[in-house]
Amino acid sequence: MDIRLATIADKNSWDEFIANQKLGAFTQSWIWAEFMATQKEKIYRLIVTDNNQWSAVCFLFVSKLKGGFRILYAPKGPIIADDADIEKNFEFIMKKIDQIAVQEKAIYFQCDPETNDTDFQQIYDQLELNKSEFDIQPRHTLILNIQDSEENLLNQMHSKTRYNIRLAQKKDVSIEIDNSKFKQFNELLKLTTDRQHITLFGEKYFKQLLSLPFVKLYLAKYDGQYIAANIMIFWNHTATYLYGASDYKFRPVMAPYLLQWQAIKDAKDQNIWSYDFWGAAPQNITGHEEKWFGFTKFKMGFSPEAEITEYLGTYEKIYNPTKLGIYRFLRKFIKK
């Protein structure tokens, strides 16, 4: 086996490789890595070959935290070929990441492959990766199979969800797809974050995000005003609802329901199989996901009988326990 850094010549082969595997999130795509290169300190793309055939890839980035500490993170990676030896490839990748960690003076490495395969759990133990205190990506989510007919998809919804979609249509809510309308989205996002008392990324992040070819900005317009917006990702076999924003005073119009339904129909038209709501809270969950119950109810309305998908979550390998302890102490101090 061999491992090397990817070059621009590998761009098409990289995405083709991921598209052919069961586990292949957009966060490991070539374009997403390019996007992260505009947001983070440095990126790495690793390719593992076995007998001159690609057997695994891993995109990771270097992030500089407050206090000058550096970490490594592979968002939903690595991606290992379905027919490859998971343990052998993961171990091979980790040896390279260990070298990168020394080179970058990273205090830890984190990863969260999009899987609940217990084989990964055993590999984590063997490679000294432990469960992180917090999950970076949603550990629980709702994923709809949208290969059925539109009629059947509507029938599987909660009656209130169907009613709200039709209500928005009756009120002449129109849907636009226009990535140039960043200003309108940003205004709605500010209303939403202020209402929910949350902090998201800054303008630079969202402007750059909307320039990506697989990202679409959906906007709902009512009575001449933009009242709701969603950022959708259409990549590989999955459509992902990444961000949503709305003006609460127009809540009776039910525009967010129509936004989701339009995106689902568009995904079907593109022969996409799955629709990922990117986060949903199971019943009786504790921790930060408790805050998700409100929007989970909204999402579950599109398929009340669907099971929530649970992944293993984020795991980490610590390289400098002393500096990590200092960083976590400072983080708590800063938050107070």
CATH topology of domain 141-310: Aminopeptidase (3.40.630)
Cα 272 to Cα 214: distance, rounded to the nearest angstrom:
13
CATH architecture of 2-137+312-335: 3-Layer(aba) Sandwich (3.40)
- What pLDDT is attached to residue 335? 53
319 vs 325: which has the higher pLDDT: 319
- For 248-299, write each residue's pLDDT tens digit: 999 999 999 999 999 999 999 999 999 999 999 888 777 777 777 788 999 9
Distances (CA, A) of 114 to 104, 133, 136, 216, 330: 26, 18, 12, 23, 31
- What pLDDT is attached to residue 192? 94
- What pLDDT is attached to residue 196? 85
Helix (H) / strand (E) containing 167: helix 159-170
- For 38-65, write each residue's pLDDT tens digit: 999 999 999 999 999 999 999 999 999 8
Please name the residue that has the structure tokens 């390019």: 34
Give Cβ neighbours of residue 218 (< 8 Å, ≥ 6 apart): 175, 176, 177, 229, 230, 231, 232, 259, 262, 263
328 vs 252: which has the higher pLDDT: 252
pLDDT score of 336 more than 50:
no
Cα 266 to Cα 180: distance, rounded to the nearest angstrom:
19
Residues of the chain with CATH 3.40.630.30: 2-137+312-335, 141-310
163-167, 197-201, 226-230, 283-287 — which is least confidently predicted? 283-287
